[in-house]
């Protein structure tokens, strides 16, 4: 058996993938799920709240200020605090991603809904739409691209936060990074972890940008 | 029929938008609400489909108080179009047009038929139905806005300055279209505008709003000929008043109603004496019933040797009189072109009732200009005293 540390770096990475492909794929999937669940739950929570805030501008300032403060807490600190309450494991990561995702989605929803042209709303109401019809026929489609912008930000951040899952026993691609950091001559292992994380963030960003543009009513 | 009964609308407990409005709009009537911004015209319009509710008073549509309807059901029965089209940018033209039919849960085929019929009606290609509003020109968009308001064939259509942002030619075309559609479907139209020309062109009746009150509610003709007060007069504008004045003057109003006449059987000598006496160069020949037969002029007489000749021998029958009920503006050119100084005026049975001379025309012009100067001075003085 050759000494793989003597190979060029990229060959070492390929070697790593050849040897541990299933493991990397497994961690990739796990990482992705932690990020996406957190963002999904945040969207389910923050989008309706954003609509509510858009109609109640007075409390909106308060809620957005609180969300901003939460956002300033470092993610590792947040994980540690929440760990006291929730314990270790992937659920903790999902909840942390959720908390960090609420602000961008909430803020974008609020802005998106507030920016819907008042004339359009007026004419919708004037033609006899109920409040609910106004929301799902007019406001939601017209603000969807801005909301998706928030979801995109949240997802990229979620991918980052999920990397920390390795410290709280949640696994994910962070495990591979951690392995590389602890190993001597572990550069190739670190790379093997960084590449899928980057791919996930970049491809997710591109995909969500595409969705965002598709939903933009002005592009039609 | 839409009735406002003592309707008052107050915003934020102290801003009075509409003050004690009483107004009745008949079925099939085209009514324009006109006024400056803040005059209450838009609020008054929006009270009808309960976009606002009156602070006091009631509004009835066909005898039923609109407060008895749910706002949503009421609005679905009332067409609504606003400024800058208000089309939904995320929906296709088709989805836009059938918005209200879909809210009313018409079946898809009926929606499609309605949309296609309306598109044809306003001369837009049916293919446009599948496009998005942003792909259409401003004029096309506003056509869609108009047919969307009409799609469910509502009895009442409300339009709030829908053509404000369009260029004059497109606007003109849309005016004609709206008039045609209104006549065709016989909806009651209430149209808010700040443009007097638009109101005069479209309306059967115009309501002029000022500071929340209706100052005058009447036909365009009556508003032009009898402005209720100085505000209305200044709002209409001097130019239009001036036009309206000249447009509506009848020959009867400016003619000299004491023409000099002579009866058949008189001699040329008699005619000369009479002309000399009255210092005129033309006499009109009338029978015993004052029916106009012709005229004799000094030029004709000058060529006659025998002064005892009957005037009927030298009568000029080519006189083409004016009718007393003719409008001056229609006849002015003709009068001037003929180049004669005296033109007789007759009534329907050809009875001579008066005469138009060049002096009459000069007086008319002078009076109009002089009146206008006075009116303008009054407005200026008012402006200064405020």
User: For each successive 10 residues of chain B (386 residues), what is the average pLDDT?
Assistant: 87 84 88 87 89 88 88 90 85 92 91 89 88 87 88 89 82 86 87 87 88 87 83 78 68 81 84 84 86 83 78 80 76 69 82 82 72 57 52
Residues B20 and B157 in one domain: yes
pLDDT of B246? 64
Work out the burial of residue A109: count CB atoms within 10 Å of its CB; fewer than 13 is exposed, 13-18 middle, 19 or more buried. Answer: buried
Q: Which residues of A touch B88 (CB under 8 A)?
A: 120, 124, 137-138, 142
Domain-embedded: residue B201: yes
Own/partner contacts of B375-383, CB < 8 Å, gap of 24 or more, are: B375/B233, B375/B238, B375/B241, B376/B238, B378/B230, B379/B230, B379/B233, B379/B234, B382/B230
Residues B228 and B277 in one domain: no
CATH number of domain containing B314: 3.10.580.10
Residues B261 and B208 in one domain: no
CB–CB contact B80 A127 (8 Å): yes
Between β-strands B205-210 and B213-218, what pairing exists: parallel, antiparallel or unpaired? antiparallel
Residues B309 and B187 in one domain: no
Q: Could you say which of B180, B212, B236 is where a domain stops?
A: B236
| Whether the model pTM is above 0.90 | no
Residues B203 and B259 in one domain: no
Band (pLDDT 50/70/90 cuts) for residue A200 is very high
Measure the CA angle with vertex B172, ends B167 and B178; round to 5°.
120
pLDDT of B243? 67
Residues B344 and B276 in one domain: yes
What are the residues of chain A with a beta carbon less than 8 Å away from any beta carbon of chain B?
119-120, 122-130, 133, 137-138, 141-142, 217-218, 220
- Within its chain, how far is the Cα of A10 from the centroid? 29
| Shortest distance, CA A125 to any CA of chain B (angstroms) | 8
Q: Where are the alpha helices (DSSP H) in chain B?
A: 41-48, 71-76, 93-97, 99-103, 108-121, 138-150, 168-185, 196-202, 220-225, 230-236, 238-248, 251-254, 268-278, 298-302, 328-338, 358-385
Residues B77 and B199 in one domain: yes
Q: How many domains does chain B have?
A: 2
Domain-embedded: residue B367: no
Nearest to A94 by CA among A47, A152, A164: A164
SS3 A173: coil
CATH class (in words) of the domain with range A9-219: mainly alpha
Residues B77 and B115 in one domain: yes
Compare all CA atoms of chain A with the CA of B83 and give the residue at the minimum distance.
A119
Residues B152 and B218 in one domain: yes
CB–CB contact A125 B51 (8 Å): yes
Whole domain around residue B78: which residue ranges?
2-236
Do residues B328 and B243 make contact, with C-beta atoms less than 8 angstroms apart?
Answer: no
Cross-chain CB nearest to A123 (options B72, B76, B86): B86
Residues B52 and B186 in one domain: yes
CB–CB contact B75 A125 (8 Å): yes
CATH number of domain containing B64: 3.40.50.300
Residues B206 and B305 in one domain: no
């Amino acid at each position: 058996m050759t000494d793989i540390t003597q190979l060029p770096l990229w060959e070492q990475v390929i070697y790593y993938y050849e040897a541990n492909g299933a493991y990397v794929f497994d961690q990739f999937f796990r990482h992705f799920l932690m990020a996406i669940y957190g963002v999904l739950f945040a969207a389910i929570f923050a989008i309706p709240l954003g609509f509510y805030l858009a109609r109640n501008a007075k409390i909106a300032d308060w809620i957005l200020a609180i969300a901003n403060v939460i956002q300033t807490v470092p993610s590792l600190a947040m994980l540690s605090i929440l760990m006291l309450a929730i314990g270790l494991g992937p659920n903790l990561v999902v909840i942390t991603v959720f908390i960090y995702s609420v602000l961008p989605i909430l803020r974008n929803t609020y802005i998106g809904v507030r920016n819907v042209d008042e004339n359009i709303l007026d004419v919708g109401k004037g033609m006899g739409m109920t409040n609910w019809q106004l929301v799902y026929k007019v406001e939601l489609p017209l603000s969807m691209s801005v909301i998706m912008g928030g979801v995109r930000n949240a997802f990229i951040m979620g991918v980052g936060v999920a990397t920390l899952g390795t410290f709280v026993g949640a696994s994910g691609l962070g495990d591979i990074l951690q392995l590389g950091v602890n190993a001597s001559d572990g550069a190739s292992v670190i790379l093997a972890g960084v590449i899928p994380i980057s791919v996930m963030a970049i491809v997710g960003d591109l995909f969500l940008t595409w969705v965002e543009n598709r939903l933009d009513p002005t592009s039609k | 029929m839409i009735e406002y009964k003592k309707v008052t609308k107050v915003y934020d407990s102290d801003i009075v938008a509409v003050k004690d409005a009483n107004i009745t709009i008949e079925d099939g009537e085209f009514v324009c609400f006109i006024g400056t911004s803040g005059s209450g015209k838009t609020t008054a319009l929006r009270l009808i489909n309960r976009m606002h509710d009156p602070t006091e008073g009631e509004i009835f549509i066909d005898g039923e108080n609109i407060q008895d309807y749910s706002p949503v059901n009421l609005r679905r029965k009332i067409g609504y179009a606003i400024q800058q089209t208000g089309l939904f940018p995320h929906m296709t033209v088709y989805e836009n047009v059938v918005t209200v039919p879909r809210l009313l849960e018409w079946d898809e085929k009926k929606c499609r038929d309605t949309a296609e019929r309306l598109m044809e009606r306003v001369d837009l290609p049916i293919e446009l139905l599948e496009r998005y509003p942003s792909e259409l020109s401003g004029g096309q968009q506003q056509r869609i806005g108009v047919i969307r308001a009409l799609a469910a064939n509502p009895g009442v259509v409300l339009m709030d300055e829908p053509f404000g942002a369009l260029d004059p030619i497109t606007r003109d075309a849309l005016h004609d279209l709206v008039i045609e559609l209104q006549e065709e479907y016989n909806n009651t139209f209430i149209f808010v505008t700040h443009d007097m020309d638009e109101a005069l062109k479209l309306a059967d009746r115009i309501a002029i709003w000022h500071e929340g009150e209706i100052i005058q509610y009447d036909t365009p003709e009556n508003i032009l000929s009898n402005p209720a007060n100085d505000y209305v007069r200044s709002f209409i504008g001097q130019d239009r008043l001036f036009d309206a004045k000249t447009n509506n003057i009848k020959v009867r109003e400016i003619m000299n109603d004491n023409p000099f006449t002579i009866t058949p059987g008189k001699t040329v000598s008699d005619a000369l004496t009479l002309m000399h006496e009255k210092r005129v160069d033309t006499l009109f020949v009338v029978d015993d019933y004052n029916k106009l037969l012709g005229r004799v002029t000094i030029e004709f007489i000058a060529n006659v040797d025998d002064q005892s000749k009957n005037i009927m021998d030298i009568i000029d029958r080519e006189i083409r009189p004016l009718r007393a009920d003719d409008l001056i503006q229609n006849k002015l050119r003709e009068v001037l072109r003929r180049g004669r100084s005296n033109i007789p005026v007759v009534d329907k049975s050809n009875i001579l009732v008066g005469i138009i001379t060049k002096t009459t025309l000069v007086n008319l012009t002078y009076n109009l200009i002089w009146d206008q100067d006075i009116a303008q001075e009054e407005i200026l003085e008012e402006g200064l005293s405020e």
